[in-house]
Structure 1
Amino acid sequence: MEQLLMARKPSWLRAKIPGGAAYNEIRNIVSLYHLHTVCESALCPNIGECWGRKTATLMILGDRCTRSCRFCAVTTAKPLGVDPEEPKNVALAIQAMGLKYAVITSVARDDLKDGGADIWAKTIREVRALNPHTKIEVLIPDFRGNRESLRKVLEAKPDVLNHNVETVPRLQKLVRPQARYDRSLEVLKTSAKEGFLTKTGLMLGIGETEKEIESTLLELRQVGVQILTLGQYLRPSKNHLPIDRWVHPEEFQSWKEYGLKIGFSHVESGPLVRSSYHADEHLKHQ
């Protein structure tokens, strides 16, 4: 059964094949500035569509993560040193892409005292200085609950603060063993309380129940999260968690309706949805 789930994806999970002039242009820009993208490192199924739209999610602080989340394709390894030129290069790449809405994420850097918060803040400020009309969404780690690190990021004034809880509370230890649901919830609560447009996302099809999804979404709303993304968990390899079920598009639509009903201002919900999928459209609903 497990092999069947890996081999036979349903028809609604067909993604655009990468290629074309726009795709190659984005790849060249990323290469020119020696950057990484979560699109490549996390094996995102939407890379063909997004790069074809001349947009990419840049990933700072290298491409080696200190955590070993059991759903994620990003490499777990001892990180390399921090590149002091990275903030400027991210700003230059965003300028070269002509982005009006930029999404920036990072690996977890638990090896650094501040979790990489200083580079995060410098990156936001560099992007703002070089691209003053570009909206900036940051998809940040939890900084191991370090409030000062989170404060550094918030003081740099991103337009959207995103931090994914990934799954329901019961499955947290199984899915992301070095993270904690309550810690993630505190990040989101702090962001919303400080007046930032706050966003999070979950994967479905990893073993959660309907009641668990309902209660998790209600709790996320209670702490002030406004934007929600829901997508199908896709197993990157045999070494990652197996897929529990394929979630039909109709169910994703039902969860979108439920999310809007309980007060989210925008819900992006569908089999191929990921955190930054059509992110530039989310502000239109605020």
Structure 2
Amino acid sequence: MSSVDLPTLPIIDAPPAVEPAKRRLPKWLKRPLPGKEFGFTDHLIADLGLETVCREAHCPNRTECWSRKTATFMILGRVCTRPCGFCAVERGKPEPLADDEPARVAEAAERLGLKHVVITSVTRDDLPDGGADHFRRCILAVRERTGAAVEVLTPDFDADHDALRTVMSARPEVFNHNVETINRLQQRVRRKAAYETSLEALRFVKEISPETATKSGIMLGLGETTDELLETMADLRAVGVDLLTIGQYLQPSAKHLPVERFVPPEEFTELGRLAETMGFRHVASGPFVRSSYHADEAWEQAGQQV
């Protein structure tokens, strides 16, 4: 593979917001129309009263993923306690936990025929354990009903070791927690989260469950520099992260952080190559890459080697 010279990206501290509808997307950011199975997935999710990050976070891959009868289940309700500047999920006062949610997630996974199930959640700082036991119950319910591999994409749980032990007691095949962006931009992008807290959560999971594949993701286009991206990748490897996703940030609405730059595909390819040289077992790097995008393929290619 020929290398691509990565630009020295500028540091932009507080640019004005840009209305997404008024900013022309580059040609490589076009998505296909829904396939014939899209309606099946849509109706199934509605029938079981489930939430998905696909819909709540305005994921650009929803038409593709739902057309291939896969979805990322979002548990712990649809209201988040943290006001992240990049995320379209509703924030505010969450509703009580639904005790039957694990069973409904397991039924959806079975009816979709999933062999690799991805479960994520809103952040629930209002709960004593952050929702860790609910994650545990969902993992066990899915595995009992389907036998599928389970990947969890969790909040940081404030790096609380007891909460992380609770999740890992159900032995998910993949533990994913996203740092989202470089250290300098954390407070602007995630506000109530902290870079070191995320690294500690990932480090501790690897310490107590070295056989589990750990995973994290980074968004590009928020004002980061190339050197900062490489430093972030090195930090993730230093805490034992095995799998990495790198994708383009897209502004959900005028209320959210603006896109500073649309990164061309060839730069994603080069960043992916550089990440692989650092020792990640699998790297997915591209404009439409998201944490759970083709997660089953990433696990098949690399997870079982961890």
TM-score normalised by L of structure 2:
0.91
Q: Which moved more, 1:190-199 or 1:161-170?
A: 190-199
1:274 and 1:114 map into 2 onto residues whose CA distance is 27
Q: Deviations over 1:148-176 (max 9, x none)?
A: 11110001100000000000001001100
Name 1:91's counterpart in structure 2.
106
The DSSP-based 3-state class of the residue aligned with 1:21 is coil
Equivalent-residue separation in structure 1 for 2:24 and 2:176 (angstroms) = 32
- Residues 163-194 of structure 1: CA deviation (Å, up to 9, x unaligned): 00000001001100110111100111112222
Q: Determine if the alignment matches structure 1 residue 121 to structure 2 residue 141.
A: no
- Trace 1:1-286 onto structure 2 (pairs within 5 A): 3=18, 6-17=22-33, 19-132=34-147, 134-193=148-207, 194-195=209-210, 196-286=212-302
* 2:136 partner letter: A
TM-superposed CA distance for 1:147, in Å, is: 1.2
Q: Distance in 2 between matches of 1:53 and 1:127?
A: 19
Distance in 2, Cα, partners of 1:73 & 1:92: 27
Residues 54-113 of structure 1 deviation map (CA, whole Å, 9 limit, x = unaligned):
100000011100000000000012111100000111001100100011111000001111
Q: 1:154 is matched by which residue type in structure 2?
A: M
Distance 1:247 1:80, change over 3 A: same
Asked if the contact 2:243/2:280 (under 8 Å) is kept, the reply is yes
Following the alignment from structure 2 to structure 1, what is the Cα–Cα distance between the partners of residues 168 and 118? 15
Two-structure CA RMSD over aligned residues (Å):
1.2
CA distance change for structure 1 residues 2 and 70 in 2, over 3 Å: closer, same or farther? Answer: closer
**Higher RCO, 1 vs 2 (CA within 8 Å, ≥6 residues apart):** 2
The residue type paired with residue 74 of structure 1 is V
1:4 CA drift (Å): 7.8
TM-score (norm 1): 0.97
Q: Deviation per CA, 1:182-227, whole angstroms, max 9, x where unpaired?
A: 1100111112222110000000010100100011101111110010
